[in-house]
Amino acid sequence: MKKNNYKDYAAMSRAAADIVVATVKAKPNAVLGLPTGSTPIGMYAELVKDYKAGKVDFSEVTTFNLDEYIGLDTKHEQSYRRFMQEQLFDHINIKPSNTHIPSGTAKDLNKAAKEFEDLLKKSGGVDLFVLGIGTNGHIGFNEPAASMPAYTHVVGLAEETIKVNADKFFAGDMKAVPKTAVSMGLATIMKANKIILLSNGESKNDAIAKIDSQVLTLDCPATVLHMHRDVTLLIS
Ligand code: PGA
């Protein structure tokens, strides 16, 4: 595992965008794994700038997002589909049909999760996965637990995650935050060829310290990344 420290959020966001652009240049039909949350917003803004400057072409790129809240319509202002449209997809030349986000509104959520996992497999797998990390060490919505499903699944959000997301995105209203989500599993994520994890700010220090300790524990799901051969942490 490699670790790169950046002087500030802008520098980390630029570095992350450079890695995405290099991946797409090397393989125009690359498959990208993508996160939502506050951390990747700067990277998405840089990618939009690069696209508008003619530095990158997303016309053959396919994307798979990590997760989605259950019960929020795709148009809801906090749905991860809407987030991705607003931060990235609406501003670049990616084909809408090539953008995949787990369904949080399907009648049969388990069936939809399985179909999502199958589609990802059929795509040939993720070339580059960009991850964020929760204050509790979650990646996607793989929350600390004794055990968890390996692949895309329905999951309950940890109390800490509900609180953090309420403060950041739901004006502090914990009741408004969905309590369940659909998330890729750790095994889904670990199948990617290459992984970068973005971490910004002191609130993530504990989780990063657990990764640094090189002890594998599902109490901090991100520690499993040590088992992958090409992971870089980008820290600001
Ligand atoms: P954040 O969320 O980017 O808003 O800090 C990351 C996460 O919870 O995975």
Question: For the chain, what is the mean pLDDT?
Answer: 98
Residues 6+ apart with CB under 8 A from 142: 148, 155, 183, 185, 186, 189, 221
The confidence score (pLDDT) of residue 219 equals 97
Radius of gyration of the chain measured on its C-alpha atoms: 16
Ligand 1 pocket member 130 (CB < 6 A): no
Residues 6+ apart with CB under 8 A from 51: 57, 58, 91, 92, 93
Ligand 1 pocket member 183 (CB < 6 A): no
- Of all protein residues, whose CA lies closest to atom 2 belonging to ligand 1? 37
Q: Are 230 and 1 a contacting pair, CB within 8 Å?
A: no
pLDDT-based confidence at 196, cuts 50/70/90?
Answer: very high
* Predicted TM-score of the model (pTM): 0.98
CA of 233 to the centre of ligand 1 (A): 14
Is the C-alpha dihedral spanning 66, 72, 75, 78 positive or negative?
A: negative
Pocket residue to mutate for ligand 1, from 38, 41, 155, most atoms within 8 A of Cβ: 38
Ligand 1 pocket member 168 (CB < 6 A): yes
The structure tokens listed for 9 are 């959020």
pLDDT-based confidence at 161, cuts 50/70/90?
Answer: very high
pLDDT-based confidence at 59, cuts 50/70/90?
Answer: very high
% pLDDT > 70, the chain: 100
The structure tokens listed for 148 are 């968890």
| Ligand 1 atom nearest to CA at 198 | 3
Q: Which of 46, 50, 67, 117 is catalytic?
A: 67
Which candidate, 126, 146, 113, 141, places its Cα nearest to that of 191?
126
Ligand 1 pocket member 140 (CB < 6 A): no
Which candidate, 21, 132, 5, places its Cα nearest to that of 66?
132
Q: Which of 50, 138, 142, 200 is catalytic?
A: 138
Pocket residue to mutate for ligand 1, from 34, 36, 39, 197, most atoms within 8 A of Cβ: 39
% pLDDT > 90, the chain: 100
Torsion of CA 114, 99, 162, 208, to 10 degrees: 100
The confidence score (pLDDT) of residue 18 equals 98
Instruction: Encode pLDDT of 69-120 as tens digits.
Output: 999 999 999 999 999 999 999 999 999 999 999 999 999 999 999 999 999 9
The confidence score (pLDDT) of residue 124 equals 97
Ligand 1 pocket member 37 (CB < 6 A): yes
Torsion of CA 142, 151, 60, 10, to 10 degrees: 10
